Structure 1
Amino acid sequence: MIDQKMKELIPNVSPYIRAPALNIENPPSWKKVQHALKETNGITVSVSEIEIMNAKAIIDKSGIGCEPASAATVAGLKKLADEKKIDKG
């Protein structure tokens, strides 16, 4: 997970998650992400595969199909709202 205070990224040597688009060992643009977080006072959160798949099921029920990596965004928003770090609205 990338946050605003990181000095360096420690790569995950063998990432594996069912969302293949998220299996990135050493993301090349992490500094850009960190800069965007600082500029927007943004936050990040880690989500589990179960949280991703639960979010995917919610999206699928609405009639919109998505792959797991896209559902990670919804999982993250849900987690941040549940933790009251962002407003549900």
Structure 2
Amino acid sequence: MIELDRSRPLWPQVAAIVRERIESGEYPGGGRVPSVLALVTEFGVTQVTIRKAVAALRDDHYIRTETGMGSYVLTAKERQDAQRAGGDVR
């Protein structure tokens, strides 16, 4: 389990760690982000915390979500296009 600073809100910390993994290529463009339940187990937080982190990553154009399918990392081109359009990549 990853240790988080419990004196601060948890979801931004989780989002930052996942963002770092995306930027480093650990979670490659087009690849799937671990499931909510897998992230709950890894970080030792609630589903609500993970869902807030996922929403922040989606809003920042790092991932897209497909209902019932999971979340996927946007490629650099997809991220650039989404940022340029200011659109929703859900």
Give the TM-score taking structure 2 as reference length. Answer: 0.26
CA radius of gyration, larger in: 1
Give the TM-score taking structure 1 as reference length. Answer: 0.26
Instruction: Compare relative contact order (CA 8 Å, sep 6+) and give the higher one, 1 or 2.
Output: 2
More strand by share: 2
